[in-house]
Amino acid sequence: MDQPLARADLATKTGDDAALKVCVMFDQPGADIPLLQRASLALARAATGQDMPSATLCYVWDSRYPAGTHGANPYTARVRYIVLDGRGAAPCQWLTQRRQVADDFQQLFGGESPHTPSVIAVAVGADSDNTQDKSLAYLSHLRWLP
Protein backbone atom coordinates (compact mmCIF):
# COMPACT_ATOMS: atom_id res chain seq x y z
CA MET A 1 0.00 0.00 0.00
CA ASP A 2 1.52 3.30 -1.04
CA GLN A 3 -1.00 5.62 0.58
CA PRO A 4 -3.30 4.30 3.32
CA LEU A 5 -6.65 5.74 4.37
CA ALA A 6 -5.83 7.85 7.42
CA ARG A 7 -9.38 8.00 8.84
CA ALA A 8 -10.54 4.47 8.03
CA ASP A 9 -11.84 2.32 10.87
CA LEU A 10 -13.22 -1.07 9.82
CA ALA A 11 -15.12 -1.41 13.10
CA THR A 12 -17.35 1.65 12.54
CA LYS A 13 -19.89 2.63 9.91
CA THR A 14 -18.35 6.09 9.49
CA GLY A 15 -14.90 4.60 8.87
CA ASP A 16 -15.75 1.39 7.01
CA ASP A 17 -13.30 1.94 4.15
CA ALA A 18 -10.27 0.05 2.87
CA ALA A 19 -7.33 1.09 0.74
CA LEU A 20 -7.36 -2.37 -0.84
CA LYS A 21 -9.45 -5.49 -0.36
CA VAL A 22 -9.98 -8.86 -1.95
CA CYS A 23 -13.40 -10.30 -1.16
CA VAL A 24 -14.37 -13.94 -1.60
CA MET A 25 -18.12 -14.59 -1.78
CA PHE A 26 -19.68 -17.87 -0.77
CA ASP A 27 -22.98 -19.62 -1.40
CA GLN A 28 -23.63 -20.39 2.26
CA PRO A 29 -26.85 -22.40 2.74
CA GLY A 30 -29.67 -20.35 4.23
CA ALA A 31 -30.25 -22.96 6.90
CA ASP A 32 -26.76 -22.26 8.26
CA ILE A 33 -27.37 -18.52 8.66
CA PRO A 34 -28.84 -17.24 11.95
CA LEU A 35 -32.55 -16.36 11.62
CA LEU A 36 -32.30 -12.56 11.99
CA GLN A 37 -29.37 -12.36 9.57
CA ARG A 38 -31.23 -14.60 7.13
CA ALA A 39 -34.25 -12.27 7.32
CA SER A 40 -32.05 -9.18 6.81
CA LEU A 41 -30.39 -10.81 3.83
CA ALA A 42 -33.79 -11.65 2.31
CA LEU A 43 -34.93 -8.04 2.78
CA ALA A 44 -31.74 -6.70 1.19
CA ARG A 45 -32.13 -9.04 -1.76
CA ALA A 46 -35.77 -7.99 -2.20
CA ALA A 47 -34.98 -4.28 -1.90
CA THR A 48 -32.10 -4.34 -4.38
CA GLY A 49 -33.32 -7.05 -6.72
CA GLN A 50 -29.83 -8.55 -6.49
CA ASP A 51 -28.93 -12.08 -5.48
CA MET A 52 -26.38 -10.95 -2.89
CA PRO A 53 -23.91 -13.51 -1.57
CA SER A 54 -24.86 -15.07 1.73
CA ALA A 55 -21.33 -14.91 3.16
CA THR A 56 -18.39 -12.73 2.17
CA LEU A 57 -14.84 -12.91 3.49
CA CYS A 58 -12.73 -9.83 2.77
CA TYR A 59 -8.98 -9.67 3.05
CA VAL A 60 -8.11 -6.04 3.72
CA TRP A 61 -5.06 -3.82 3.84
CA ASP A 62 -5.56 -1.36 6.68
CA SER A 63 -3.57 1.30 8.53
CA ARG A 64 -5.41 1.23 11.88
CA TYR A 65 -5.48 -2.42 12.96
CA PRO A 66 -2.56 -4.88 13.03
CA ALA A 67 -2.32 -7.81 10.66
CA GLY A 68 -4.43 -10.72 11.86
CA THR A 69 -7.25 -8.56 13.21
CA HIS A 70 -10.62 -9.94 12.16
CA GLY A 71 -14.24 -9.07 12.68
CA ALA A 72 -17.64 -8.41 11.18
CA ASN A 73 -18.49 -5.52 8.91
CA PRO A 74 -20.37 -2.84 10.89
CA TYR A 75 -23.22 -2.84 8.33
CA THR A 76 -23.79 -6.59 8.14
CA ALA A 77 -22.45 -9.70 9.82
CA ARG A 78 -22.72 -11.43 6.43
CA VAL A 79 -19.42 -9.72 5.54
CA ARG A 80 -16.39 -10.43 7.70
CA TYR A 81 -12.80 -9.34 7.31
CA ILE A 82 -9.22 -10.28 8.08
CA VAL A 83 -6.50 -7.62 8.03
CA LEU A 84 -3.57 -8.94 6.00
CA ASP A 85 -1.32 -5.91 6.11
CA GLY A 86 -1.94 -3.49 8.92
CA ARG A 87 -0.74 -0.82 11.28
CA GLY A 88 3.01 -0.40 11.24
CA ALA A 89 3.52 -2.07 7.87
CA ALA A 90 6.12 -0.42 5.66
CA PRO A 91 4.53 1.42 2.73
CA CYS A 92 5.62 1.17 -0.90
CA GLN A 93 6.72 -2.47 -0.79
CA TRP A 94 5.48 -5.47 -2.71
CA LEU A 95 4.39 -8.26 -0.38
CA THR A 96 3.39 -11.84 -1.04
CA GLN A 97 0.29 -13.08 0.73
CA ARG A 98 -0.93 -16.68 0.74
CA ARG A 99 -4.17 -17.74 2.35
CA GLN A 100 -6.09 -20.96 2.88
CA VAL A 101 -9.52 -19.56 2.08
CA ALA A 102 -11.41 -22.56 3.48
CA ASP A 103 -9.53 -22.26 6.78
CA ASP A 104 -10.24 -18.53 6.94
CA PHE A 105 -13.92 -19.14 6.20
CA GLN A 106 -14.06 -21.66 9.04
CA GLN A 107 -12.33 -19.23 11.39
CA LEU A 108 -14.90 -16.51 10.70
CA PHE A 109 -18.07 -18.39 9.75
CA GLY A 110 -17.39 -21.88 11.14
CA GLY A 111 -19.77 -21.39 14.05
CA GLU A 112 -22.55 -21.26 11.47
CA SER A 113 -21.40 -23.69 8.79
CA PRO A 114 -19.62 -26.97 9.48
CA HIS A 115 -18.48 -27.11 5.83
CA THR A 116 -17.03 -24.41 3.62
CA PRO A 117 -19.58 -23.64 0.88
CA SER A 118 -18.79 -23.06 -2.78
CA VAL A 119 -17.12 -19.84 -3.83
CA ILE A 120 -19.38 -17.91 -6.21
CA ALA A 121 -17.28 -14.80 -6.87
CA VAL A 122 -14.08 -12.95 -6.05
CA ALA A 123 -13.91 -9.15 -6.10
CA VAL A 124 -10.96 -6.79 -5.83
CA GLY A 125 -11.57 -3.22 -4.79
CA ALA A 126 -11.05 -0.25 -2.56
CA ASP A 127 -13.48 2.21 -1.11
CA SER A 128 -13.44 5.55 0.61
CA ASP A 129 -17.10 6.52 0.48
CA ASN A 130 -17.38 6.92 4.25
CA THR A 131 -14.16 8.83 5.01
CA GLN A 132 -13.78 10.60 1.65
CA ASP A 133 -10.01 9.95 1.96
CA LYS A 134 -7.74 9.03 -0.92
CA SER A 135 -5.57 5.93 -1.07
CA LEU A 136 -3.21 4.20 -3.44
CA ALA A 137 -2.54 0.48 -3.49
CA TYR A 138 -1.58 -2.11 -6.07
CA LEU A 139 -2.36 -5.79 -6.52
CA SER A 140 -0.59 -8.13 -8.87
CA HIS A 141 -0.67 -11.84 -9.66
CA LEU A 142 -3.85 -12.80 -7.85
CA ARG A 143 -3.99 -16.57 -8.23
CA TRP A 144 -6.29 -19.32 -7.04
CA LEU A 145 -4.34 -22.50 -6.31
CA PRO A 146 -5.76 -25.93 -5.46
Q: What pLDDT shows up at residue 137?
A: 84
pLDDT tens per residue, range 32-57: 999 999 999 999 999 999 989 999 99
Q: What pLDDT shows up at residue 105?
A: 97
Please report, rounded to a whole number, the percentage of residues in the chain having pLDDT higher than 70: 95
Residue 86 near residue 67, CB atoms below 8 Å: yes
Domain boundaries in the chain? Answer: 18-127
What average pLDDT does the segment 77-100 reach? 83
Q: What is the chain's mean pLDDT, rounded?
A: 90
The 3-state secondary structure of the chain reads: CCECCCCCCCCCCCCCCEEEEEEEEECCCHHHCCHHHHHHHHHHHHHHCCCCCCEEEEEEECCCCCCCCEEECCCCCCEEEEEEECCCCCCCCCCCCCCCHHHHHHHHHCCCCCCCCCEEEEEEEEECCCCCCCCECCCCCCCCCC
Q: How far apart are CA 99 and CA 96, in angstroms?
A: 10
More confident residue, 11 or 145: 11
pLDDT tens per residue, range 51-84: 899 999 999 988 889 999 999 999 999 999 999 9
Q: What pLDDT shows up at residue 56?
A: 97
